[in-house]
Amino acid sequence: MLHRLATSLRRPAVPLFAAAVRCLSSGSVDIKVPLNFWAGKRRTSQEKCNKENVYEPATGRVLCPLEPCGAAEVNQAVEAAKSAFGHWSKMSGMERAKIMIEAAHIIERRREEIAEIEVVNNGKSITEARLDVDSARLCIEYYAALATTLAGQHVQLPGGSFAYTRREPLGVCVGIGAWNYPFQIAAWKSAPALACGNSMVFKPSPVTPVTAVLLAEIYAMAGAPEGLYNVVQGGQETGSLLCHHPDVAKVSFTGSVPTGKKIMEMASKGVKHVTLELGGKSPLLIFQDSDVENAVKGALMANFLSQGQVCSNGTRVFVHKDILPEFVEEVVKRTRAIEIGDPLLESTRMGALVSRSHLERVLSFVDQAKKEGATVLCGGEPFVPSDPKLRGGYYMTPCVLGNCTDEMTCVKEEIFGPVMSVLSFESEEEVLLRANDTDLGLAAGVFTSDVKRAHRVVEHLKAGSCFINNYNITPVEVPFGGFKMSGIGRENGQVTIEHYSQLKSVYVEMGDVDSLF
Ligand SMILES: NC(=O)C1=CN([C@@H]2O[C@H](COP(=O)(O)OP(=O)(O)OC[C@H]3O[C@@H](n4cnc5c(N)ncnc54)[C@H](O)[C@@H]3O)[C@@H](O)[C@H]2O)C=CC1
Ligand SMILES: CCCCCC(=O)O
């Protein structure tokens, strides 16, 4: 269990369920436990190819080698999931809920430990990592509650006949995660799947493999049958094996649009259900009657959470021309004040980006923006913390770009880093046309004090997750997902039950067959 992980750390082992005390510091962690998990315990992979290192973004150190799974390991994990499905699908919703609630309780007790490991592997601040762990726990609690309500319908028909429906699970579901919210994504996918009676094989991003296995251990500790939730490590090869596997009924994917298209294509070979949570380049509209203080805070929430590595970020910030100077002055001031540094420190609000290559990619977008005529109002530079152990980390200063135009690359393409592009507008009609001028449609936001305008604008925004006078607030009771090329299906909310179950209709004849022949 996590205790074994703790014992593998160079620091003194942390007893399981330790009080929420700080036990880790950046640069102190070596992970020596296996990172695959199926049939109820951690496993090593015999696959020899595609071995790559996993890094600690805060320091640039190697955390551990990744042990990717090949066909043999994927088959073992799917077999374990099939076996668990046989038992789990026949349990009642109340029985499933009991185990899920216990898992949520364990997560709550181990919040600090899980959050710290998430920070070490992802680079985000401990402040945010705790909130991610909370979201994961709340999601499991929410779907545990829904598990107890799952039911079909009775339809009375003529002549005393009737029909009823049975809400049934799909079978073995696959989850494929991105690297920006590793533990949260693992929970957002497994919670509805398990609540509906399915089992799951989850593949985290190879960049952040560590915490999804903690969730597997926690489900096992909570009493889940062996094989209910399994974790296989690897990259696109492992993901492809899962998508093609004949015993997989559904693929729930979180990642980029190009990969999402491949997932959909592979799943189509077996006509498998898909959920696609893909990329975005979302607009945030700030009208002249906004509360500017809140609009500025909203723009910061829309651009700089998780070092800007958030799919739903409102990175195209459209500001009415009448308040543009006041907005720009305040947003630049607050962006410059964001504390960058060791993500395990309480004072840090911007940690390290997830990898050296991703940092360089984000910085190249800033360079391109300058070439295309944007003005760097602040940030956009590599950052080297004063602490020597952080010198090899992947840091940059959060960036605000001004004088942007709709044709610029920084306005058209997803950067997935701490780069806010500020644009001005004059009329509601104009800004709606520009906001919707994208193939993507994940999220959108509007700040205004005019309640009619707020709901009129949201009605016309072509996005799946919209915010009025706030941004990036994602309660698990509310569906999350995109329009257009930002995806298919939803995560969270009641509707997601539809994406992890299927209805069987049963007609019951109470008279004789009235044959036409
Ligand atoms: N809509 C949402 O909720 C979210 C969307 N994203 C998007 O994800 C992207 C960044 O995350 P990345 O991990 O870099 O995305 P990615 O698409 O490169 O990888 C995502 C996952 O897919 C796997 N994968 C890659 N190629 C595959 C293939 N051919 N077959 C099967 N699996 C494959 C990867 O190993 C990883 O686990 C951004 O575009 C971001 O917008 C990220 C988080 C949330
Ligand atoms: C603000 C939280 C958004 C979660 C969606 C993502 O994984 O990027």
What parts of the chain have a pLDDT lower than 50?
A: 1-21
**Angstrom distances, CA of residue 286 to CA of 289, 294, 434:** 8, 10, 13
| Ligand 1 shell residues, CB under 6 Å | 176-180, 203, 205-206, 235-236, 239-240, 243, 254-256, 259, 262-263, 277-280, 311, 414, 416, 442, 487
Site to probe by mutation for ligand 1, drawn from 124, 245, 259, 272 as the one with most ligand atoms within 8 Å of Cβ, is 259
**pTM of this structure:** 0.95
Given a contact cutoff of 8 angstroms between Cβ atoms, the answer to whether 377 and 369 are in contact is no
Give the per-residue pLDDT at 47: 79
Site to probe by mutation for ligand 2, drawn from 125, 128, 185, 496 as the one with most ligand atoms within 8 Å of Cβ, is 185
Q: What is the DSSP string of 478-515?
A: S-B--EETTEES-BSSTTHHHHTEEEEEEEE--S----
Closest CA to 235 of 37, 355, 66: 66
Q: Which atom number of ligand 2 is nearest to the Cα of residue 184?
A: 7
Q: What ranges in 245-355 are assigned the alpha helix state H?
A: 257-269, 292-303, 324-336
